[in-house]
Homo-oligomer: A and B are copies of this chain.
Amino acid sequence: MSNLRPRKNVDNGKAVESTESDYIDTDDGILEKRKVNLSETIASGSKRTPAVLEKFVQSLPEKGKVWVVRGISAIIMFSLLGLVIYGGPLTMLITIMVVQVKAFSEIINIGYAVYRAHGLPWFRSLSWYFLITSDYFFYGEFLIDSFGVALSRTDFLQFLVTYHKLISLTLYLVGFVWFVLSLVKRYYLRQFALFFWTHITLLIVVSIAHAFIQNLFEGIIWFIVPILMVCCNDLMAYVFGKLYGKTPLIQLSPKKTWEGFIGAGISTIIFGMIISHIFCNYKYFVCPVQYDEAEDRMTLECQPGEMFVPKEYNLPQFLSNISKLFGFGDSIVLYPFVLHSFFLSVFSSVIGPFGGFFASGFKRAFKIKDFGDAIPGHGGIMDRLDCMLLMALFVNVYFKTFLNHDTVQKMFHQIHNLNAEQQLQLYRMLQESLQNKHLL
């Protein structure tokens, strides 16, 4: 313990006295001191109220005020969601992009605050540049997979399609070289920390946005049902927790209880099946987004896949007995999607909340209350998205595994990107293989 003395910080041979706020420490106890700083730097939304709303709620008691603000925000969010859904796939796509940019900026700003990046050369430009290159790559891949045939109609777009991977890598490498050239001895550690911070943020934000977009283009139902499930689960966990909550669930979030967890799970499963059943009735929700070459626009018209056509299921014995007691038959007519939605809602109730626990652990680690202040009464965009993270990935993998109805369409786009000779070669291989299996 001999080194318990004010430290001197040697910088270019000149001793600079350092203050405690000069460090970010890995030890939680030490960060205690920084709490104030970070909370001041990062706007915290759950406490902030816009002037017009403030006026509206000023006569209410403090506790009620928070809930009214939170409720109004929630209503506005749902209305916006409704409008966006009504606006069609392109509106939804743009909304996902905007939300992604906001979420990226929230996480990156925490990084700036943690590493006090103000003096670092190029730090802001670099982060945003990397976001642009990642988006260019991922959305490009997505567009090529989904609309390759349409894209190949003009020479310029054909060029972008053919060299997409190389252009993306070049863009990324420009950023990489730029970062290396921007390194300044004094800031090495912080620059590397922010470089890695940016990449982790990209990994989270871009992959989630990408998953959402893919889900959306498989059919709006794959986009909206998971979102509503997560909202329902969030809300019901709170309601059941308030009403019956006794047994703490996890050390990380002391307010969460087993009663809330289980109640929310059951509610989400029932709610999920009901909304799935409703949405299954509309082509607008169940058809994949496709590009109509004749009309040169995106369409949501299709012959609904078998998952969205009602089907008769025989009930298992014990359910059939109950059903007969009430005078019903021993079978039930359902959209197959409703059964699939059961697995989605189980996931959103059991694993989904871990996205939230992860985010709250993250916030506790950096001693911040919220990710930002975009939504009065709720916090930042990321505070609302935390449970959606794992959900979007799961839905994406789920339909890729079980129900990828337009795989054929996608492969056709890929084949279309080959040259004539390769297309012919593939055609002959396929012909031979189908003949061997006596399918032709």
Q: Give CA–CA (A192, B416) in the complex, Å.
A: 45
The A389-435 residues at the B interface (CB cut-off 8 A) are 390, 393-394, 397-398, 400-401, 407-408, 411-412, 414-416, 418, 420, 422-427, 429-431, 433-434
When A397-B169, A401-B166 are in contact, do A176 and B430 touch as well, CB less than 8 Å? Answer: no
Is A422 within 8 A of B398, CB to CB? Answer: no
Q: Give CA–CA (A154, B196) in the complex, Å.
A: 42
When A418-B407, A424-B434, A429-B408 are in contact, do A22 and B25 touch as well, CB less than 8 Å? Answer: yes
Is A423 within 8 A of B416, CB to CB? Answer: no
Q: Contacting A199 at CB < 8 Å: which of B200, B250, B354, B362?
A: B200
A26 within 8 A of B: yes
Stoichiometry, copies per complex: 2
A153 within 8 A of B: no
Q: Give CA–CA (A14, B224) in the complex, Å.
A: 49
Q: Give CA–CA (A16, B189) in the complex, Å.
A: 27
When A26-B190, A188-B361, A426-B412 are in contact, do A183 and B4 touch as well, CB less than 8 Å? Answer: no
Is A30 within 8 A of B9, CB to CB? Answer: yes
Q: Contacting A169 at CB < 8 Å: which of B3, B250, B394?
A: B394
Is A162 within 8 A of B7, CB to CB? Answer: no
When A365-B191, A429-B408, A431-B427 are in contact, do A401 and B165 touch as well, CB less than 8 Å? Answer: yes
A173 within 8 A of B: yes
Q: Give CA–CA (A4, B26) in the complex, Å.
A: 20
Nearest Cβ distance between residue A391 and chain B, in whole angstroms? 11
A315 within 8 A of B: no
Nearest Cβ distance between residue A188 and chain B, in whole angstroms? 4
Is A11 within 8 A of B29, CB to CB? Answer: yes
Is A29 within 8 A of B9, CB to CB? Answer: yes
Is A27 within 8 A of B32, CB to CB? Answer: no
Nearest Cβ distance between residue A415 and chain B, in whole angstroms? 6
A55 within 8 A of B: no
Interface residue tally for chain A (C-beta within 8 Å): 99
A186 within 8 A of B: yes
A118 within 8 A of B: no
Is A3 within 8 A of B19, CB to CB? Answer: yes
Nearest Cβ distance between residue A268 and chain B, in whole angstroms? 18
Q: Contacting A27 at CB < 8 Å: which of B18, B192, B408?
A: B18
The A235-265 residues at the B interface (CB cut-off 8 A) are 250-252
A185 within 8 A of B: yes
Determine the chain B residues whose CB is within 8 A of the CB of A398 once the complex forms.
166
A28 within 8 A of B: yes
Interface centre among A116, A183, A358, A425 (most CB of B within 10 A): A183
Nearest Cβ distance between residue A176 and chain B, in whole angstroms? 7
A132 within 8 A of B: no
Is B166 within 8 A of A397, CB to CB? Answer: yes
Is A188 within 8 A of B365, CB to CB? Answer: yes
Is A28 within 8 A of B166, CB to CB? Answer: no
When A189-B366, A397-B169, A412-B429 are in contact, do A30 and B7 touch as well, CB less than 8 Å? Answer: yes
Interface residues of A (CB under 8 A from B): 1, 3-7, 9-11, 16-33, 114-116, 162-163, 165-166, 169, 173, 176-177, 179-181, 183-193, 196-197, 199-200, 203, 250-252, 351, 354, 357-358, 361-362, 364-366, 390, 393-394, 397-398, 400-401, 407-408, 411-412, 414-416, 418, 420, 422-427, 429-431, 433-434, 437, 439-440
Can you offer 7 A-B residue contacts whose CB atoms are under 8 A?
A3-B21, A10-B29, A28-B185, A180-B250, A184-B251, A189-B366, A420-B439
Q: A26-B114, A180-B354 are in contact. List 20 more A-B contacts (CB 8 A).
A: A9-B27, A9-B29, A10-B29, A16-B29, A23-B30, A25-B189, A29-B186, A165-B397, A169-B397, A180-B250, A180-B252, A185-B364, A192-B365, A196-B196, A203-B203, A407-B422, A408-B429, A412-B426, A424-B440, A427-B440
